[in-house]
Amino acid sequence: MSVPLLQLIETRLADHKPRRKWLRRYTKRSAVALILQIREGELNVLMIKRAERKGDPWSGHMAFPGGRMDPGDDHGYAVAVRETEEEVGLTLGDDDPCIGRLSDIRAAPRRLPFGMTVSVFVFRLDREFVFTPNYEVAETVWVPLEFLLDTDNRETMVWERGNIKIPMPCYWYEGRRIWGLSLMMLDELMDLVEGTNPARKIWRR
């Protein structure tokens, strides 16, 4: 099913009109690369586990390669490509096509009062590659998309900030928790695959 699934995603992304935050020009900008690859007959998405680092609001989280826009970056796509090379050693070139993009997401790290706009670019990787993570990345993990599409694998966690407790969806994959901004991105991708699923509650910002 993986080849038809990948083809379906490419077709849906070609017609997709991602939402773009109109305030993004006034906020800090960042971008990520959501990389898809067929591995051993299954379509997988590349995720990283961020290293435990003081001052990083996403320290230890499961995420996608990416980071903040630098003054020398012309656009979000350039950020996603540059950060992927810096974080995992993968240079995304002409043979690794960007097959579309997902909606912008507003992140709200505490030290940025106006928040941050995250742009999501989807790539297809057809070649084998040995990743070389830098100090920001603890490990790289391929996660089967079929695992995420199976809503029986979806769980509920409680996110706490101060006295506030909010139930939020998550997945546990081989001992790693996938939630938050990364899951927002994956949910949009999965909605493109099979439409809105009642088991995936609408919770995006």
Q: Tell me the pLDDT tens digit for each residue of 41-73.
A: 999 999 999 998 776 666 789 999 999 988 888
Phi, psi of 77 (to 5 degrees): -60, -45
Is 46 a member of any domain? yes
What pLDDT is attached to residue 28? 86
Counting beta carbons within 10 angstroms of the beta carbon of residue 44, is it exposed (0 to 12), middle (13 to 18) or buried (19 or more)?
buried
Is 181 a member of any domain? no
Residue with tokens 């320290």: 59
Three-state DSSP class for residue 204: coil
What pLDDT is attached to residue 112? 56
CATH number of the domain encompassing residue 8:
3.90.79.10
Is 191 a member of any domain? no
Is 11 a member of any domain? yes
Return the structure tokens found at 57.
């609001």
What pLDDT is attached to residue 21? 65
Residue with tokens 């609408």: 202
Three-state DSSP class for residue 143: strand
What is the extent of the structural domain holding 13?
Answer: 2-148
Low-confidence ranges of the chain (pLDDT < 70): 1, 21-26, 55-58, 109-114, 202-205
Rounded Cα distance, 28 and 169, in Å:
26
Is 122 a member of any domain? yes
| pTM > 0.75: yes or no | yes
Each residue of 17-34: pLDDT tens digit? 998 766 666 678 999 999
Rounded Cα distance, 36 and 163, in Å:
38
What pLDDT is attached to residue 9? 97
Rounded Cα distance, 111 and 114, in Å:
9
Q: How many domains does the chain have?
A: 1
Is 25 a member of any domain? yes
Is 166 a member of any domain? no
What pLDDT is attached to residue 1? 59
Q: Are 24 and 120 in contact (CB under 8 A)?
A: no
Is 183 a member of any domain? no
Phi, psi of 124 (to 5 degrees): -115, 125
Task: State the pairing for strand pair 154-161/62-63.
Answer: unpaired
What pLDDT is attached to residue 205? 44
